[in-house]
Amino acid sequence: MAFIDYYKVLGIPKNATDKDIKKAYRKLARKYHPDLNPNDKEAEKQFKAINEANEVLSNPENRNKYDAYGEHWKNSEAYEQAKQQQEYQRRAQTASGGGFEQDFSDIFGSMFGGGSSRSSNVKYRGHDLNAELQLDLKDVYTSHKRTLTVNDKNIRITIPAGVENGQIIKIAGHGGKGFNGGPNGDLFIQFSIVNHSKFKRDKDNLYTTVDLDLYTALLGGSIMVDTFTGKVKLTIKPETQNGSKVKLKGKGFPKYKKEGQFGDLYITYDINIPTKLSSKEKELIEELQKLR
């Protein structure tokens, strides 16, 4: 297919402004519009070319690609990826003492036809993709499957229980497409874990604070406390001090890729001092004070 100079189609210079492009397009579109040129094949052809030129040049991103790559502008991303892969290969061979002769013109030849025969068999690995997936802490307590949309493709992945905030996993072969028969790149997913629970997480362990009334702290007893998966009954030892900590073994967070293994839950007691004491209560406390 012959190269079409979109600037010449619209009759504008390459440094034309967006306003210039819009003005030229409107003028020519009116001139060659099919309603004003019925059964005129040449006008119809011109009208299509004008619309095509406008679609490219009125879009800043497409215009930059067109200015840089001309007729190959639609394949500019593929070319850039191939060029990056070539540069990587050049550095690798240079570091190992080998030579590297291919130039960037060979890349165009191998991708778009023509060029030297030595480049026609060069395979280029696709570029890697990076994505971020935000999850709630409760979402990563159990392993589950989730469908992600990357580059307009749905990818179903298994998210293992116990993944951590900021952790990155690799999905092999789901990155950019390889070129000239080369392998696809990889997809790297970074997890952003949002915690809306009352528990603080540190790797596999969980931490929380539990309110304890003064009388239970002094005399002992039992209370119901929350864990990540539900309530459990906890025995309180007599004379428990404020800030005391207890460990509930195995009640923490799942260990990453260790089926059935969990961290621990650490509970800190926060003893509540009663307020608005009645006269009788104050009298009894004063008696207790005298005994101490």
Q: Where residue 154 sits, what CATH number does that domain have?
A: 2.60.260.20
Report yes or no on 1 lying in a domain. Answer: no
* Whether residue 246 is found in the same domain as residue 261: yes
- Encoded amino acid at 247, one letter: K
Report yes or no on 245 lying in a domain. Answer: yes
The arithmetic mean of pLDDT across residues 172-179, rounded, is 83
Other C-beta atoms closer than 10 Å to the C-beta of 80 total 15
Report yes or no on 65 lying in a domain. Answer: no
Of 150, 179, 194, the residue that ends a domain is: 194
Range of the domain at 92: 75-119
* Whether residue 26 is found in the same domain as residue 50: yes
For 79, half-sphere exposure in the C-beta direction (CA atoms, 13 angstrom radius) is: 21
pLDDT higher than 70, residue 233? yes
Of 58, 83, 101, the residue that ends a domain is: 58
pLDDT band at 99; cut points 50, 70, 90: very low
* Whether residue 267 is found in the same domain as residue 204: yes
Report yes or no on 173 lying in a domain. Answer: yes
| Domains identified in the chain, total number | 4
Report yes or no on 287 lying in a domain. Answer: no
Report yes or no on 284 lying in a domain. Answer: no
pLDDT band at 122; cut points 50, 70, 90: low
What is the chain's mean pLDDT, rounded?
83
> pTM score, two decimals?
0.56
* Whether residue 223 is found in the same domain as residue 259: yes
pLDDT higher than 80, residue 25? yes
Q: The domain that contains 45 carries what CATH number?
A: 1.10.287.110
The arithmetic mean of pLDDT across residues 154-166, rounded, is 91
Phi–psi pair at 103, nearest 5 degrees: -110, 175
Residue (of 253, 238, 230) closest to 164 by Cα position = 253
Kindly list the distances between the CA atom of residue 286 and the CA atoms of 87, 101, 241, 282, in Å, as whole numbers in the listed order.
Answer: 84, 94, 21, 6
Which residue is associated with the tokens 């009388």?
215
Report yes or no on 30 lying in a domain. Answer: yes
Report yes or no on 63 lying in a domain. Answer: no
Digit-coded pLDDT (tens) for 209-225: 999 999 999 999 999 99
pLDDT higher than 70, residue 20? yes
* Whether residue 213 is found in the same domain as residue 264: yes
**How do strand 200-202 and strand 187-194 relate by DSSP bridges?**
unpaired
* Whether residue 189 is found in the same domain as residue 205: no
pLDDT higher than 50, residue 243? yes
- The encoded tokens of residue 117 equal 């025969």
* Whether residue 231 is found in the same domain as residue 172: no
Residues 175, 131: contact at Cβ < 8 Å?
no
Residues 150, 105: contact at Cβ < 8 Å?
no
Residue (of 100, 6, 92, 97) closest to 53 by Cα position = 6
